[in-house]
Amino acid sequence: MLSPLAILFPDLRPEIFSIDIGTFTFALRWYALAYIAGFLLGWWIIMRLMTRPALWPNGTAPMPPAKVEGLLTWVIVGVILGGRLGFVLFYQPAYYLEYPAQALRIWEGGMSFHGGFAGVIVAGLLYCRRHSVPPLQLADAMALVAPIGIGLGRLANFINAELWGRPTLAPWGVVFPGPAAQDCPWDWPSTLCARHPTQLYEAALEGALLFAVLAYLVWRRGGLRQPGLVTGVFAAGYGLGRFTVEFWRQADAQFITPDNPLGHVLALGPVGVSMGQVLSLPMIAVGLALILRARQTRAPA
């Protein structure tokens, strides 16, 4: 039986509203709004950081506030192109190799955080080279605001009833609509599956908690005066949070087989790990390396 406290998914729709214009339908989706809000809030916070020279090494901000708007354009392109390319390469390469034109249909969904992260790195480096901005200092500013977009994106994933977790009898399990409620393990004691709301776990860990840690580091501990420290804490913090939540998150369907029901792609000793965990390990390693490097660098007053 389901846990007596299992939660039925509320009546939420992916679309906030839709308007029919002849044969064309315009719809504003929660996921799109999450991206827009994340970009705008990040832009505003970075603008504020650039007006606070005391937060930066030698009392000098890495760029004038007027240049932040141009940075936003580069970041948006990096997120979209990198996120889509990462999804194509990491999660469904065989499908898109057979149907390459489908890779362009980004409005149908399919984005990879790790791909988007790589896209932002490339866009940021190109921007820094073009405008003579110190890369690590700009990376620190961007790392501070990244959890905002991540948290909002995970909330949108919950509203969309996607990226849910594995079946659970825990009282906070959620009965998501569609296949999530029907594809129960063969020995499951009910006709409906309540699942871990891993979207909310990630929104809390990789969004709210990580932003709180980074904000404290920046405004209370002078973290921006040690270039690379904030970026390192973000990368390691996200990687650890994602790696942990993946133990309860349902693997992508293409990795699940009768012989591999948990969708593991690699074995680390007796423990199997998912694709999301494999992609998180380099982030943890790079994050720890940046933290050590920054701690060994004396912070200028």
Provide the annotated binding site: 154
Report the distance separating Cα 114 and Cα 106, nearest Å: 16
CA-to-CA separations, 132 to 125, 128, 299, in angstroms, rounded? 10, 5, 21
Q: Is the dihedral of CA 123, 290, 277, 275 positive or negative?
A: positive
Q: Are strands 24-29 and 15-21 parallel, antiparallel or unpaired?
A: antiparallel
CA-to-CA separations, 278 to 90, 116, 267, 284, in angstroms, rounded? 11, 16, 10, 11
DSSP code string of 240-286:
HHHHHHTTTBPPPGGG-BTTBTT---EEETTEEE-HHHHHHHHHHHH
Q: Are strands 174-175 and 7-8 parallel, antiparallel or unpaired?
A: parallel
Q: With beta carbons less than 8 A apart as the criterion, state whether 211 and 238 touch.
A: no
Amino acid at 126: L
